[in-house]
Amino acid sequence: MTLATLGLYGLGTMGSALALNIAEKGFGLHVANRTDDRIPEFMDEAGELADRLTGHDDLAAMAKAMPAPRAIILMVPAGAPVDGSIAELLPHLAPGDTIIDAGNADFNETRRRTAELEARGFAFIGMGVSGGEDGARHGPSMMVGGTRASWEGIRPVIEAIAAKFDGAPCADHFGPDGAGHFIKTVHNGIEYAEMQLIAELYGLMREGAGMAPAAIGARFGDWNAGPLKSYLVEITAEVLAATDRTGIPAVDAIVDAAGQKGTGRWTVIEALKLGQSASAIEAAVAGRAWSADRIGRAAGAALFAPERGAVDLPADTLAEALLAARIVDHSQGFSVLAAASDAFAWDLDMARIAEVWRAGCIIRSALLDDISAAFRDGAPHGHLAFAPAIAETLKSVLPALRRTVSAATASGHPVPALSASLAWFDTMIQARGTAALIQAQRDFFGRHGFDRVDGGAGRHGPWWG
Ligand code: 6PG
């Protein structure tokens, strides 16, 4: 397979970092940016690596200068800029060339773009890239969707620039069209849930136990040495230890309204469309939306003057609660992936997904090592939490989650993601739940019918005579 000539368009933070990573691994790369004055500046930043980089004034000039077959990576904001870049590129491409969208795209758009481009003889790859600026520069985790042939054309480059776990690249091809972007979206959904869970525990320690940020940071630091080891726990420890230039804890200098670009919300939307529920992720998206409603919260605080009680749980209890809820949010994420895999006939390799998330990406963690092993041992499709090794851990830490949620809610501390995780668990271990009543109600008001437990005939209740 001929290695394609590589180009990269969009030298923002992530694009620049990825371009330098590619050049550092020994590959030649053509680069262009929306504004051409960025090129000389970028060449300066590249230092010795500039020898492997060829700058162009614009996207069309870059495409024209590149020998075919070309593979052009777009590092532009999701949505219209991707379509605009593709439209600009097309007149200068030849059949067999590949366009790679390496941003956080809605996988529905990736599927549309793939169909449009493949119909014209071009290849389109939707590639999820995780790890922030540092990851892009020194080794991101990458989730690729597209044809196998187009993957083979860029594979040596992608594997060379990827993060490595035990020497193996944290990048792979997972399926056609939108598969890579879908996996990245679910990665981000899990990222949202993990961040929300950490923030809820921070809140309990701060407001419930009256601990100072630095002391809480030290606790997260301790946790990072055990089963909770993860990039997000590690950076939480660092953030909470930091002091702002005004002398107060850095976290106290920040407005408590969380931003979001949409990937967490997309996970929830797609989960619901697939008949799933990723309730821990939904709680995290809701938590961000509620946080952004500062005027509403201020009015609520003034009206209800909440008095929050003390919650002083042992550190081990809080740590176990976090681990239990993390197992649930990962389990929900993998259920969504399993449902999408079935719905789109992607045949996703769950073990491989967990493996490429073990290094480079934002949710990398010790738990993902266990999850990878669980999938390799044949974890049930769509039910990660019930894989023997994972279920054993969950059994041991679940009481701490229950204790934490009980204490928090009894004292007025909001813990939406912890609560959602516990509710999911309590529901999923009920062989017979309460939905029979819902079926009866549906039949009562709308003759919707139901299945009988004895398998017998008759789909309506006695209320219909
Ligand atoms: C990653 C991240 C990244 C994402 C940011 C911000 O995997 O490197 O997920 O892709 O853009 O985390 O996302 P929000 O602005 O939605 O929080």
Residues 370-389 pLDDT 10s: 999 999 999 988 899 999 99
User: Ligand 1 centre from 184 Cα, in Å?
Assistant: 10
Assigned token pair, 12: 């923002």
Q: So what's the pLDDT on residue 306?
A: 84
Euclidean distance between CA atoms 465 and 463, whole angstroms: 5
**Is the pTM higher than 0.95?**
yes
Protein residue with its CA nearest to atom 14 in ligand 1: 260
User: Ligand 1 centre from 18 Cα, in Å?
Assistant: 16
Protein residue with its CA nearest to atom 7 in ligand 1: 130
Q: What is the pLDDT of the chain when averaged over all its residues?
A: 96
Tell the CATH superfamily of the 185-428 domain.
Answer: N-(1-d-carboxylethyl)-l-norvaline Dehydrogenase; domain 2 (1.10.1040.10)
Catalytic residue among 64, 118, 184, 395: 184
Q: Where in the chain is the domain with CATH 1.10.1040.10?
A: 185-428
Is 395 catalytic? The answer is: no
User: Ligand 1 centre from 188 Cα, in Å?
Assistant: 6
Protein residue with its CA nearest to atom 2 in ligand 1: 130
Give the amino acid at 16: S
Q: So what's the pLDDT on residue 230?
A: 98
461 burial type by CB count under 10 A (0-12 exposed, 13-18 middle, 19+ buried): middle
Q: So what's the pLDDT on residue 465?
A: 85
- What is the pLDDT averaged over residues 167-174? 98
Select from 18, 263, 281 the residue to mutate for testing ligand 1; criterion: most ligand atoms less than 8 Å from CB. Answer: 263
Q: Which pairing describes strands 29-32 and 53-56: parallel, antiparallel, or unpaired?
A: parallel
Q: Where in the chain is the domain with CATH 3.40.50.720?
A: 5-177
pLDDT per residue over 247-272, tens digit each? Answer: 999 999 999 999 999 999 999 999 99
Instruction: Phi first, then psi: give them for residue 448, nearest 5 degrees.
Output: -75, -20
pLDDT per residue over 36-52, tens digit each? Answer: 899 999 999 999 999 99
Euclidean distance between CA atoms 213 and 301, whole angstroms: 23
pLDDT per residue over 86-117, tens digit each? Answer: 999 999 999 999 999 999 999 999 999 999 99
Task: Please give the angle made by the CA atoms of 111, 8 and 91, to the nearest 5 degrees.
Answer: 65
Please tell me whether residue 29 adopts helix, strand or coil conformation: strand
Q: Does domain 435-464 have CATH number 1.20.5?
A: yes
pLDDT per residue over 448-458, tens digit each? Answer: 999 999 998 88
Fold of 5-177: Rossmann fold (3.40.50)
Catalytic residue among 88, 116, 133, 191: 191
Is 191 catalytic? The answer is: yes
pLDDT per residue over 174-233, tens digit each? Answer: 999 999 999 999 999 999 999 999 999 999 999 999 999 999 999 999 999 999 999 999
